[in-house]
Amino acid sequence: MIFPIMKKIISVFLILMIPPIVVLSINWQWTPSSFNEGVYYLYLFTESVSYPYGIITSTIFFVFCCFSLRSIDLASISRLGIILIFAVLIGQGIKSIVKNYTSEPRPYVTQLEKSLPVDSGKFYVVTDSERAQMIDQYVQKTAEIPSWLESHWQAETGYSFPSGHTLFASSWVFLVVLFIGFKRHSVITTAVVGWGVVVETSRLALGMHYPADLIASNIFGCFIALLAYFCAKRWRIID
C-alpha cells in the first residue's frame, strides 16, 4: 500500500524539481536583461494560481479528485471538499509564517536595490503603496520591464521564501496524482504535472523567486498532499 504511493510521490517530486535544479546547475540568475516577450505566456500560468483565477483552478482540480470517491453523493463530495480546502489553506498558512520568519527579498527587489538608492530593508518596512512607487521608479529606469509585469510586482511585494504560487501548484499536483492515479487518468495527471512545472518556471522567469523557494514549496506541498490523502483514506471517503 505505502510503496505504490511513495513511488508516485517520488516520481512527481523529481519532475517538479527539474526547473529549480536546472537553474541551480547552470547558475542562472534573474536580471532585467533576461526578460523577453515569451515570458508573458509563462505569466498566464502564474495567473492561473493568482486570485481570483486560482479559485477556478482549484474547482477544476477538485472535480478531478472527485473521480476517486467511493460513492458520488453530497456527503462524500462535501467531506472531500473540506479536506482539500484545508490542505490548500494549511499550505498558504505555512507559507505566510515561513515568509515572515525568513524575510528573504525577492529577486526583483534585489535588482531594484542596484538601480535606486534604497535597500531591501527599507523596501519591506514601508507601506504597500510606497513599495509600488519604488517599483514604478525602477521600471521607468528599466526599459525591458512591461507594464503587466510591473503590475504583478506591485501586487506581490512580500518576501520570497517560500513560493506561495509554487506551494499552491505543487499541492494540487500531488493531490490530483495521489487521488486519481497515473494509470486510470494518465492524460489528466500528465497535464496537471506539466501545468505545475510551468507555474514554478514562471516564478523564476518573472523575477519573483529563487530556486530554493521552489524546492521548499515542493517539499511542503508533498507532505500536505500526503496528509490530505491519508485523511481521506482513513475516513473511507475514497477508494
Instruction: Please give the single-letter amino acid code of residue 150.
Output: E
Question: Residue 238 pairs with which residues in a beta bridge?
Answer: 69
For residue 146, report the phi and psi dihedrals to the nearest 5 degrees. -80, 165
From first CA to last CA, the distance across the chain in angstroms is 12
Instruction: Please give the single-letter amino acid code of residue 118.
Output: V
Judged by DSSP in three states, 69 sits in strand
Active site residues: 165, 209
For residue 239, what is the DSSP state?
-
Per the CB < 8 A criterion, the answer to whether 68 and 239 are in contact is: yes
CA atoms of 91 and 68, how far apart (whole Å): 22
Inter-axis angle of helices 128-141 and 147-155, to 10 degrees?
150
Question: Residue 200: how many CB atoms within 10 A of its CB?
Answer: 32
Nearest to 66, CA basis, from 56, 76, 55, 54 = 76
CA atoms of 88 and 99, how far apart (whole Å): 17
